[in-house]
Structure 1
Amino acid sequence: MAAALAAESPGSTRGPSRVGFVGAGRMAEAIASGLIRAGKVEAQLVLASAPSDRNLCHFRALGCKTTHSNQEVLQTCQLVFFATKPHILPSVLVEVASVVTSQHILVSVAAGISLSTLEELLPPMARVLRVSPNLPCMVQEGAIVLARGRHVRDSEAQLLQTLLGACGQCEEVPEVHIDVHTGLSGSGVAFVCAFSEALAEGAVKMGLPSGLAHRIAAQTLLGTARMLLQGGQHPAQLRTDVCTPGGTTIHGLHALERGGLRAAVMDAVEAATCRARELSKK
């Protein structure tokens, strides 16, 4: 059985006794699932809220508690993730502000909502952080960055980084990097899926059965990612290692260059980042 998080006392680096989620969409489910799978919190110590049962059923399937009351989450949990849609979050923060205490650690997952906005809408001295995760948190292979507000102590930032490290790679960054991470890794999951699909369809075109082609494409992406992370090589070096003069790979890479793959991918990350910045301004 997963070990429960111990109750936090001021200045402690031990975790809070319960973990809450205001908003129960895919990203909230991914983080909760990652924490539970890694044994960082017991499912019955997770409480999630949402207006309807449509998303809460996923939390119930994990063994978590659910409610329709956002305030109940704050009254029950010390560590609370706000995972609503960005345009909804300000009104939610106003709704729960009256039950926020100095013991809460409040974490926003919403894209585009700045730390200064979070601090404006919550009581003075509220301890807030921004986190930019991605969907692979669900399988403990996420790419996550966090930025802290003015009143967050080192011990609290380290606590959150340790907890989220169970969901994948987690690093603390200046807030200015959050939107870029959204464009690179949050949206990047969809970009990688599009590439994997195209890779497999190329093999199907050449005669490989579809199911086999998609499995091999996904495994190729997984294996390559592990080599890059574990070996610490620059992608250009690994790419060079695969190429032999006059071989199959260099001919394929030439076709990718003709198609403008690198420029298209760079444009995609730029477009997603710019959209995240637009949301921040709004």
Structure 2
Amino acid sequence: MTFTKRDENAAPGFYQAEAAGLRWLRAAAEGVPTAEVLEVTDTSITLPRYDSMAPSPEQAQEFGRRLALTHQAGAPHHGAPPPGLNHGFIATLPLQHLAEPPPHWGEFYARCRVEPFARTAAESGSLDAKGLADVLKLCEQLREGDPGLTGPEVPAARLHGDLWSGNVLWRAEGALLIDPAAHGGHPETDLAMLSLFGLPHLDIVLEAYTATAPLPPGWQHRVRLHQLHPLLVHAALFGPSYGAQSVSVARAYL
């Protein structure tokens, strides 16, 4: 059985970006399996229909281990898109990529993930002028590349990019990833997204992940920093309550 997502008004390249992200993640040796792309057009994508179930602790442990391997498959640089792409999306919003390596992760995060979505959220009325100013002030600090804020520089990981719990499908065979916003970035980003809206057995996932690929010191302190981007995405799409959370996070790091 198959499942087709279709939108006759989809933005150009929308489904192609999803397909390219799935294929790139799927190519990570021993990484987390992803949905197989059966067909993609300008207005649709067709995948197998997968049965789902509640995960076991053992499946959560295996997911954490294999997510570390997906990340370790790497990317050319922070902000790099999947092969063959120069664009991307998160939900329905355009997602910027970089053709050339940035000087450091903080520059990429500020330029391509935080500032554009903060401005979009402000335009939609979800951030007021003071809130926007505070988020942009944090962007200035991110661009300075201070490891006290961003942590030590790490190689670009192969990220899912929108790894909330709804994009982890649990099957009898284990976890399966769907709906990516794939790019090269910081491994802490995917982990922070998993904790933003909750994931079954998250503590087991994190323990297995860090046993496979230890994270830089202080990563727990940076979880909310990495959650700022998805909070701003939600502010742009769903309103001021997420805008208020975004500003609270930004101010905590100023």
Provide the TM-score with structure 1 as the length reference.
0.24
Provide the TM-score with structure 2 as the length reference.
0.26
* Greater radius of gyration (CA): 1
